[in-house]
Amino acid sequence: MKVLLHYRAGPGLAQRLAALPGIELSLVSDTDDTALAAALPQAEAIWHVLRPLTAADIAAAPRLRLIQKIGVGVNTIDLDAARARGIAVCNLPGTNARAVAELTLLLMLGALRRVAHFDAATRAGQGWAQPPALQDSLFELGGRTVGLVGYGAIPALLAPVLAALGCRLLYTAREAKPDAEGSYRTLAGLLAESDVVSLHIPETPQTRGLIDAGAIARMKRGAVLVNTARGGLVDQAALVAALQSGQIGAAGLDVFAQEPPDPADPLFSLPNVVVTPHVAWLTTGTFDRSFAIAAENVRRLAAGEPLLHRVA
């Protein structure tokens, strides 16, 4: 079956993917629209990562039968266009959960300990010449209240680690979960009590802009915000203002309202922010788990069997 991977794969990954049986794989960089246009007419399945897959892309692929999201969130796929053609859309819940949980912890610690600031200062020969006032903005994670917005696979892995570090845990979800680590709160209650707020929900019309100026005002002054979910969950202008005023003490961000973001965005000039370029999911372990299931779905599609994790 002809499969198009719309992603700039590294040499090791490309070699492993080439060995998958029953798949004729085309690798197309997500920055090369010309190569994508040339490959779409032959594609029977698309393995989709981050660059939005539009209605025009789908219309240009007359043989397309499956869009396989390499990840969880399908907000980058035109689902209406796929449904109109009867094209199956599947995702991969849980395959990147460990990777995202680990980077979430890293961003929490990086924000609390101002790692980005100290890294830059040390490289510039100023690491041992920091102003004394900086001492008052360095915090430990242990003993703090961490609020998890959403309680899926990622928070379920992260919560026991946070508890082991001595954190008090709160979470909010559609409903209380009897097996969750921590205490259930409404979103408003969680924001008011938490020293660290970490986002773990999909971006939908209902959640877009969830963390706006009003939500930020309900947070503890000096609280830390961590987002490894979707950039659209946060009103980025309101976040910048809160970081500048001290209402938000620090932020750890892997995702942004616009990706790639504008390097001139005022967010990147703030010393109390640590950022990564939407790579929380990106590990070799995630790849191995994800492409094993993606290949199985291609096999099932060819055999006429039910697909795994179908969402549309």
Q: Which residues are catalytic?
A: 230, 259, 278
What whole-number distance in Å separates Cα of residue 45 and Cα of residue 120?
44
Q: What is the DSSP letter of 310?
A: B
CA angle 145, 233, 213 (to 5 degrees): 75
Do the beta carbons of residue 81 and residue 62 sit within 8 Å?
no
Report which secondary-structure segment, H or E, holds 109.
helix 97-112
Taking residue 85's Cβ as centre, other Cβ atoms within 10 Å add up to 14
Q: Output helix, strand, coil percentages for the chain, rounded to the nearest 5.
A: 40, 20, 45
Q: Which of 219, 202, 206 is nearest to 255 (CA)?
A: 202
Start-to-end C-alpha separation, the chain: 21
Residue 120's SS3 state is helix
Q: To 10 degrees, the CA torsion angle through 36, 70, 73, 64?
A: 50
Tokens for 112? 């609390």
Q: Are 53 and 5 in contact (CB under 8 A)?
A: no
| Entry field: residues in the chain | 312
Is the separation of the CB atoms in 219 and 249 below 8 Å? no
Rounded (5°) CA angle 251-254-255: 105
Distance in angstroms (rounded) separating the CA atoms of residues 212 and 177: 26
